[in-house]
Amino acid sequence: MVGTANNGRLRLAFSLVNGSQDLDLSSAPASNAGSECGGIEFTREDVEALVNEKMKYKNKFNYKERCENMMEYIKRLRLCIKWFQELEGEYAFEQEKLRNALELTERRCSEMEVALNNKEEELNLIILELRKSLASLQDKLAKEESEKKAAVDSLTKEKEARTSIERSQASLSEELEKVQGELDGANQRIASINDMYKLLQEYNSSLQLYNSKLQTDLDTAHETIKRGEKERSAIVENLHTLRGQHKSLQDQLMSSIASQDEVMKQKDALLNEVACLRMELHQTREDREHYQQQVQSLAAEVSKYKELATNSSELEEKCLSQGNQIQILHDQLAVAERKLQMSDMSIFETRNEFEGQKKLIEELQNRLEDAEFKLIEGEKLRKKLHNTILELKGNIRVFCRVRPQLPDDSSSNQAKVFSYPTSMEYLGRGIDMTQNAQKHSFTFDKVFMPDASQEEVFVEISQLVQSALDGYKVCIFAYGQTGSGKTYTMMGKPGQADEKGLIPRSLEQIFQTKQALQPQGWRYEMQVSMLEIYNETIRDLLSTNKDASRIENGVAGKQYTIKHDANGNTQVSDLTIVDVQSSREVKYLLDRAAHSRSVGKTQMNEQSSRSHFVFTMRITGVNEAPYSSFNHVPTLHQSTEQQVQGVLNLIDLAGSERLSKSGSTGDRLKETQAINKSLSSLADVIFALAKKEDHVPFRNSKLTYLLQPCLGGDSKTLMFVNISPEPSSAGESLCSLRFAARVNACEIGTPRRQLNMRTSESRLSYG
């Protein structure tokens, strides 16, 4: 079944789809040379002409000619489909190849990107460390340069002070020698004075002894001077004091010379002046001691300045070594900068390579998208051709589903009843059943093995559900014996999202598609009804009137009638119809209907459905946009809005069972008889349709009369035949498979879309 695509995109011609390769449908894949199609090629025009071809008959009552033409047409369609399947295989191979190349390139790109990031982080850390080292070295260099400058200034000042002290010491030595000479002259001049001379001799010897003592003290003072660095400031003051004392000494010497001259001139006054001379001699002794102390201090200053000179040389050597260290650091910084430049170049090259890989990935992704688009277009065309064949055949599609083994089933040691062919022709479509050593083979549109999930089953019918939104009448019903899994297929297990059945999943798809089509101007209205046919009586499962839904003695409290109009629509009188806007509302109604449905316990099933459950959704769609995107063909908006009407019937039939196996009695017996009778009427209708009889007994039961438009009208119909894998149910399973094969062979009317102009309010009807 091919429904309206959700994206609303026009299907392009194959020449446009293939793009730069300029490939159209006429260019068949290389593998066609050895395929079943031989050298036959199809163009887009050939396919459209083949799909739109209408049969022309010389005599419309010549069924043999019609059959031959139809077989020839079907043969050409099959040939076209096989050609497209081979083309699809080529596209799939190319897509897989491109996908592998893309994955390899993405893997390499990701590895390269990780390596690039790691290398960039490592280089950033190295650069950060180098920058920190450079900053610390610059701070250290500035600090040492400032220290060096301060040391040079201090050394210059000390040299100047040393020079001035040496000059002062030289002048003092000269003055001391002069004074000593003058003193000797004075001693010679007073040689006549014996006592004075003796005293002076004694004084001279004492001075010599004192000098030797001073020399000893000077050696001791050298050791003390080492700890006298803190007395540097006092030296300058001592120098100033020394200069002042030197002046006073000069004055005193001058006065002494004057007094001595006066003694020479005045010999008579020498005796009177002896006392004065003694005092002066005493003063001279004190001055001499003072001068000796000054000489000692000057010698200490000299040694101190010698030590300072030594320290200054050490400072110069230290500054020189620091300069060498700074030069080494400058060289290391230059090397680090060169490494940084090389790292930047490496990063730039890596980024260029990454950009190239990125462009290559984008190109591969574009090619992959083109291949996927071509594959999707080919699949759409294949589905369209397949749908065309099914519509021309006018048959009912049949899916078979085998229930998995349950813990309560019989022992698995018995031989397996079912097997599944693995050949390409019957893979997924064939099922073989073995009974009494005899093999029975059946082929359906789809066969689901026991391990098939609910999602896999729904995927196969999703396009059929989409057809209801496109304006078709759709009917899906489950058939099979009691306990074969019909209700599980249709409803699933409540509260388990992964095991939702076809009905909840179909509703989710419908409301999601409704939401997606709103931007295109489509507005949908949904109406829902639910009923059951119990003992050939219709019950409204959504009715709020308890008396209407109550059953007494097998008769419902309220009678409902089924009517068909000229357009093939079916209406049930007084049936509760609910307008719904979301899947949550429908789920609430389903839960409410499930609690009202008739179920019972038999020997074949603990919770057996004792009635036929019919869920119906009427879908009315109106395109309010200026241009209609329906069916992918843009048409001008008419004065009246275009409207589509679709109907979705989802039916869970009651299970067929043999009275001998079910053990039904009383009410259960009546229920079983009514169920088997309605299913037997359904079989009679199917057989009459298969034989193309003029009269089809739709009115033999409420079920067949309700489903008349689905079985004999223009509806898209799908039957699920559910099979139990138990060997004890092999007889019932064989009957179900044979019935399903007869259903699959039936021909009904060609489905047609319900398109008309928007009318006033319309109520729900069955397709």
Note the pTM of the prediction, 2 decimals: 0.50
Phi first, then psi: what are they for 568, rounded to 5°? Answer: 85, 10
Please give the pLDDT value at position 31.
42
Q: Looking at this protein, which amino acid is placed at residue 75?
A: K
Contact partners, residue 704, CB within 8 Å, separation at least 6: 678, 681, 682, 685, 697, 698, 711
Q: Is the model's pLDDT at 636 over the cut of 50?
A: no
Find the Cα–Cα–Cα–Cα dihedral 80, 82, 88, 93, rounded to 10°.
-150
* CB < 8 Å & 24+ apart, contacts of 184-192: 185/260, 186/256, 186/260, 189/260, 189/263, 189/264, 190/263, 190/270, 190/277
Structure tokens at 421: 């062919």
Q: Is the model's pLDDT at 269 over the cut of 50?
A: yes
Enumerate domains of the chain plus CATH numbers. Answer: 394-408+419-511+612-622+650-757 (3.40.850.10)
Instruction: Name residue 524's beta-bridge partners.
Output: 621
Could you tell me the end-to-end alpha-carbon distance of the chain, in angstroms, rounded to an integer? 17
pLDDT digits 0-9 by tens, 604-626? 444 456 789 999 999 999 987 65
Q: Is 725 exposed, middle or buried (0-12, 13-18, 19+ CB in 10 A)?
A: buried
Binding residues: 480-487
Structure tokens at 260: 């001595």
Between 35 and 54, the higher pLDDT residue: 54
367-381, 544-558, 753-767 — which one is most confidently predicted on average?
A: 367-381
What mean pLDDT is predicted for residues 323-341? 81
d(CA 733, CA 723): 6
Q: Is 255 exposed, middle or buried (0-12, 13-18, 19+ CB in 10 A)?
A: exposed
Phi first, then psi: what are they for 445, rounded to 5°? Answer: -70, -30
Contact partners, residue 361, CB within 8 Å, separation at least 6: 102, 105, 106, 109
d(CA 756, CA 643): 5
pLDDT digits 0-9 by tens, 222-254? 666 566 656 666 665 766 676 676 666 667 667
Within 10 angstroms of residue 347's Cβ, the number of other Cβ atoms is: 14
Confidence band, pLDDT 50/70/90 cuts, at residue 629: very low
Identify whether the C-beta of residue 225 lies closer than 8 Å to the C-beta of residue 300: yes
Please give the pLDDT value at position 30.
42
Q: How many Cα atoms sit within 13 Å of 104 on the Cβ side?
A: 6
Residue among 571, 585, 615 nearest 476 (CA)? 615
What mean pLDDT is predicted for residues 564-581? 85
Q: 56-70, 119-133, 569-583: lowest mean pLDDT where? A: 56-70
Exposure b/e, 600-635, CB count within 10 A at least 16 = b: bebebbeebbbbbbbbbbbbbbebeeeebbbeeeee
What mean pLDDT is predicted for residues 513-527? 88
Please give the pLDDT value at position 522.
86
Please give the pLDDT value at position 17.
33
d(CA 747, CA 468): 21
Identify whether the C-beta of residue 672 lies closer than 8 Å to the C-beta of residue 662: yes
Q: Looking at this protein, which amino acid is placed at residue 742?
A: R
Confidence band, pLDDT 50/70/90 cuts, at residue 367: confident
What mean pLDDT is predicted for residues 423-452? 89
What mean pLDDT is predicted for residues 489-498? 85
Q: What angle do CA 211, 212, 217 make, to 5 degrees?
A: 90
What mean pLDDT is predicted for residues 330-355? 82
Exposure b/e, 481-518, CB count within 10 A at least 16 = b: bbbbbbbbbbbbeeeeeeebbbbbbbbbbbbebbeebe
Q: Is the model's pLDDT at 409 over the cut of 70?
A: no
What mean pLDDT is predicted for residues 419-428? 86
Confidence band, pLDDT 50/70/90 cuts, at residue 667: low
Binding residues for ATP: 480-487
pLDDT digits 0-9 by tens, 97-121? 888 888 888 888 888 888 888 888 8
Please give the pLDDT value at position 29.
44
